[in-house]
A and B are shown apart, each in its own frame.
Chain A
Amino acid sequence: MNYDFSEKEFSFFIELHQLLAKYAEGKKLDDCDLAGSENNLRQATAMLAGTPYLKLAIEPVDGFNGLLTLTGAWEVLASISPSLYISVETSARIFGRIISAWGDDVQKKKWLPEILSGKVIGAVGLSEESLNIDNAPLATLGVLNGDKVEISGRKQYVVNGPMADWFAVVGNMGDKPAIFMVEKGNPGLIIGARSATIGYGGAAISPLELKNCVIPAANVLFPADAKSMTATLRLWENQILMGASLGLMKTAFESARTYAKTHKTGGKPIIAFQEIGFKLSEMLTLFQTSQLFAYRTAWTSEKDPKEAESLTLCAKVFCTESAEQVACEAMKILGGAGYLSGNAVEQAFRCAKYGQIAGTSTEIARVKIGDTALGLRN
């Protein structure tokens, strides 16, 4: 048993923080137009490619512990910029892991180096109008025609949609689950307008439509079965949302603590008042509990993937709900200053809600956790 990161991991987190903090100086990473978002994402991924960050949990990195190390690193990036975090992770981790897990050797060679070097931005089309994706079959279909595949379907809430070079579109081909790799500019790929969202203002999210979109048959990946494919994709999403929550809590807590130590009322810093000090104590309790929960979940994912499914849902619910609470309390500590647009706490407050909605929603997650306990789900 060991409840600490190694010195090498700690050093990596510090170096990563320094690198990203320097990059973020003077930039509006979480509130920018599409061109700005794309520019930031391309610059940041290229920069991260010079560190082990993009490879973690996709390729072995000497001295590091895969997803567990990555979870520590997630907190760093998400605390610097939640928007950059969600964009980078969608590209490198979800898109990257799709190739890594389900691509054949040729496909891996084609896309993985490009993604891990930051040269290419990926997006993933999973969500469809049917809310309960676990029970309803995906409506996006590919039809084989010689050495080509013609795809039709609609996807919503596609992170990186307006700026990706490649899209991994999840659907079915015949009676098999399939993931269609579609390049930007491919005829029949219609990228919708960037959606306005309450948080993650530096990320670009849009719907997609595939209308008689023809791609080479060699660009189709075939996961083993539909159920495990969607479960795995949701698992990856949930992990990323946990990481986002840690970063949001770090930002919200540290901002509120700094404010409470420097803002004075009645001649003393407001942290001296129990109502504020106690609030910060509760926030830190949620933050530290979330950290350990996320780390153990990441460790379990690599040691016991079966056990990790339900545990990840537990941790996802806890971390994302904690993030919302911590951000909410932080805003109260900042008072009027917290309500002004553009400050880190207000931004964390707006972003935090996404964690409970995206991936497996906290409501569905609780149902699944209950089902697992009741033996209604394997």
Chain B
Amino acid sequence: MDFAFTKEQLMFKKEIIRFAKKEIVPRVQEHDLHKQFDFESFRKLGEFGILGLHFPEELGGGGADVITTVMAGEALGEAGVDGGLTLAYGAHTFLCSDTIYSHGTPEQRKKYIPKLASGEWIGCMGLTEPNAGSDVASMTTTAEKKGDKYVLNGSKIFITNGPIADVAVVYAKTQPEKKHAGISAFIVEKDTPGYKSGANLIKMGVSTSQTSELFFNNCEIPASHLLGKEGDGFNMSLQTVEWDRSALLAPFVGAATFMLTRCVEYAKTREQFGRTIGQFQAVKRKIANIRIFGEAARNLVYRIAWCKDQKKPLNHLEAAVAKLFVGDWSLGPSNDAVVLHGGYGYCHEYDMERIFRDSRLAPIGGGTSDIQKMIISKLI
């Protein structure tokens, strides 16, 4: 065992933190308050190379390994980037772009990856439906082949980047009777007739990310927009789990470090009863709890990333454990951070309430904690 990051990785992480603090974080509060997507920050993430970090250089990527890619997500959280933007980045890069990259033809890769890696285009992924969440096989969106086209009908819900996406990876049934094996994946571009997104859904957290329904009404797409083969869709969606349990969880780990830093700063300056509150054991306890959570969570996330780098097949048990831990055990520390700041913690200006709201997504998005427990209890 060796838990060391390379010098280059550590330097890169510092660079990302410096970049994010200068170029993104100053606009976070305003965008969160108004529940607006920060297009400028997203474009800057693209310019910096984060949106396509793990793609090959010839497709506009950075050629980074998984560990470095996950570290980028942690760095964004650590810098204080809001959960909305990191979620948008995750949905764009890993759920949309990576699916096209991993399963697309050379032509599909060439057409989409450079634009997605640069941030010129924004991507989303449409899987969940009003009556098909974790029970993917229940999806009712269909894709019927007619000549050299597929005709999509149905709707999707809770789609991150839905209202702003230029391109979507959409899962639909080509053979409804086959359940999981009848699901296929397609690339759908924004202005395709019959495709439209709904209004932004107002959420309790990750507010800068834009979330909506997607509607497909006799939406015709070229047959060449099929990803992989018919019936491969379910397995493609499962493959995103590796990223979901590493890169998409990493910002939560980074956010723990951010909370720790901010709580320490506050505790060192806020005075009550003639001394800084950091001298009270109850405050130290909260600070300790935040650090303990962050340290424990970090190992789980990087283990998934390391296994992916080693081309090991995803260990679904470990993946579910990582998701469950980050999801459920992050709630206590984010609550501690709010309470430690007292009234200020309840106010927008001090960031802690935002992180508290953002962290509520961790036990829900990408498979709820109960779903993770179902997976674990079946596997053991």
Contacts and interface: CB of A to CB of B under 8 A. Distances in A.
Given A278-B377, A296-B3, A375-B268, A314 B295 contact: yes
A79 to B, nearest CB: 17
B283 A370 contact: yes
Interface in B5-55: 5
A92 to B, nearest CB: 22
Most buried by B among A68, A296, A315: A296
Contacts of A4: 1
B341 to A, nearest CB: 15
B278 interface: yes
A284 B299 contact: no
A262 B268 CA distance: 54
Contacts of B299: 289, 292-293, 295-296
B292 A314 contact: yes
> Which size bracket describes the interface of B in this complex?
35 or more
A36 interface: no
A282 B2 contact: no
Interface string A250-287: 00000001000000000000010010111011101100
Interface string B349-380: 00000000000000000000010111011101
A376 interface: yes
B238 interface: no
Given A1-B3, A373-B288, A374-B264, A318 B296 contact: yes
Interface in B76-97: none
A134 to B, nearest CB: 15
Given A3-B307, A4-B1, A315-B295, A292 B288 contact: no
B283 to A, nearest CB: 7
Interface string B300-318: 1011001100000000011
The winner among B278, B295, B320, B370 for most chain A CB atoms within 10 A is B295
Interface string B248-289: 000000000000100010011000000000110101111111
B321 interface: yes
Nearest to A310: B291
A288 interface: yes
B325 interface: yes
23 contacts: A1-B306, A3-B306, A281-B373, A281-B377, A282-B324, A282-B373, A284-B317, A284-B321, A284-B380, A288-B321, A289-B325, A295-B1, A296-B295, A296-B299, A303-B4, A367-B281, A367-B284, A367-B285, A369-B291, A370-B281, A370-B283, A371-B284, A374-B268
A322 to B, nearest CB: 9
A65 interface: yes
Contacts of B296: 289-290, 292-293, 314, 318
A373 B260 contact: yes
A339 interface: no
Given A1-B5, A289-B296, A366 B289 contact: yes
Given A285-B324, A373-B260, A277 B3 contact: no
**Quick one: which of A2, A292, A293, A371 has the most chain B CB within 10 A?**
A292
A371 to B, nearest CB: 6
Contacts of B264: 373-375
B199 to A, nearest CB: 36
Contacts of B377: 271, 274, 276-278, 280-281
B1 A3 contact: yes
Contact of A278 (B2, B289, B306, B370): B370
Contacts of A280: 376-377, 380
B145 to A, nearest CB: 40
The 5 closest A-B pairs by CB, nearest first: A370-B284, A277-B377, A281-B376, A292-B299, A369-B288
Contacts of B380: 257, 280-281, 284
A285 to B, nearest CB: 5
A289 B330 CA distance: 13
B168 interface: no
Interface string A302-344: 0100000001001101100000000000000000000000000
A282 B1 CA distance: 26
A156 B66 CA distance: 51
B2 A277 contact: no
A299 B2 contact: yes
Interface residues of A, number: 43
A285 B1 CA distance: 21
Interface in B315-350: 317-318, 320-321, 324-325
A370 B1 contact: no
B284 A366 contact: yes
Which of A5, A271, A278, A303 gathers the greatest number of chain B CB atoms within 10 Å? Answer: A278
B127 interface: no
B376 A370 contact: no
B125 interface: no
Contacts of A367: 281, 284-285, 288
A300 interface: yes
Contacts of B286: 370
Contacts of A371: 284
B67 interface: yes
Given A277-B373, A284-B321, A370-B278, A3 B260 contact: no
Interface string B186-227: 000000000000000000000000000000000000000000
A71 to B, nearest CB: 9
B250 to A, nearest CB: 15
B306 A370 contact: no
Contacts of B1: 2-5, 65, 68, 295, 299
Given A1-B67, A257-B380, A281-B377, A374 B278 contact: yes
B3 to A, nearest CB: 5
B288 A1 contact: no
Contact of A374 (B287, B317, B324): B287
A369 B4 contact: no
Nearest to A65: B1
Contact of A370 (B285, B317, B370): B285
Contacts of B372: 281
A281 B378 CA distance: 9
Contacts of B281: 366-367, 370
A65 B1 CA distance: 8
Contacts of A2: 1-2, 306
Given A1-B5, A3-B1, A292 B300 contact: yes
A300 B3 contact: yes
Contacts of B2: 1-2, 299
A119 B80 CA distance: 57
A281 B260 contact: no
Contacts of B3: 1, 3, 295-296, 299-300
